[in-house]
Amino acid sequence: MTDIHTHILPHLDDGAKDTATSLAILQDQLSQGVGTVVFTSHFYGRKHPPVRFLEKRNAAYARLKEQIPLGLNVRLGAEVHFTGINVPEYEELCKLAIEGTTYLLLELPFTTKWTRELTEKIADFAYETGYTPIIAHVERYNEVLKKPALVNELVDMGCLIQVNAQSFLEKKTKGFAFALVRHGLVHCVGSDAHDLENRKPCLSAAKAAFEKEGLIAAWDIIQDNMLHVLIIKYGHL
């Protein structure tokens, strides 16, 4: 399995608080059958420019690199907070894409209204750069819950859609999450793991939930999609 959305790098955002926590999360991932993990720490442009974020991210990875459990492939990336306002230069944004790919994980506004400027900026970024936005945890946005057709609009713009594994397990979210799957609107699943207490990885449980719903074939397609994302440029994991 592939986990395309995590907050495992230590001392970098609201995820793993230290290297020991990072290693414990990775070991848990491995025990669940995860073979590839993408580190997508939060990037907020108002705090640091991309170059400063990359310096901090690489330093965090250096503390962890030699201790990553055998059997796990890892890739660097970022979860880019994208409001459509004061967007960094596209060339700089592209540096935050998943390592070795042309795919960029975007986090959109949770509670504020999505303006035309926002969606036009996403479309413009994709058109001008040739990079593909992956919209993080689409099921969590108020705008999407009020107007699910927005997901179709994002897909029509060329975006891929990511849903959190936990959303397939919780009573209040699993109905909508599985409805997206049944409509072919989920391309990636990620744990969005931050720790082993409140926001732990649960991909194996999500896979079991897909199987219970009779959607294991869809799960396999989603896994294939994520492998395609990771090999698109390098040609290998």
Would you place residue 198 in the very low, low, confident or very high pLDDT band (cuts 50, 70, 90)?
A: confident
- pLDDT for 84 equals 77
Apex CA 170: angle with CA 189 and CA 209, to 5°? Answer: 60
- pLDDT for 47 equals 66
Tokens for 133, please give them.
């936005």
CA pair distance 6, 42, nearest whole angstrom? 9
Q: Give the number of other CB atoms < 10 A from CB of residue 31.
A: 11
Would you place residue 232 in the very low, low, confident or very high pLDDT band (cuts 50, 70, 90)?
A: low
CA pair distance 237, 163, nearest whole angstrom? 22
Could you tell me the pTM of the whole model?
0.95
Within a 13 Å sphere around the CA of 206, how many CA atoms are in the beta-carbon half?
Answer: 32
Asked whether the predicted pLDDT for residue 235 surpasses 60, the reply is no
- Residue of 4 and 232 predicted with greater confidence: 4
CA pair distance 8, 172, nearest whole angstrom? 26
Lowest mean pLDDT among 95-99, 155-159, 193-197, 233-237: 233-237
* pLDDT tens per residue, range 60-113: 999 999 999 999 999 999 999 998 777 888 999 999 999 999 999 999 999 889
- pLDDT for 22 equals 96
Asked whether the predicted pLDDT for residue 118 surpasses 70, the reply is yes
Judge contact between 140 and 164, C-beta under 8 A: yes
- pLDDT for 49 equals 85
* % of the chain surpassing 70 pLDDT: 97
- pLDDT for 43 equals 95
* pLDDT tens per residue, range 123-170: 999 999 999 999 999 999 999 999 999 999 999 999 999 999 999 999
Asked whether the predicted pLDDT for residue 177 surpasses 70, the reply is yes
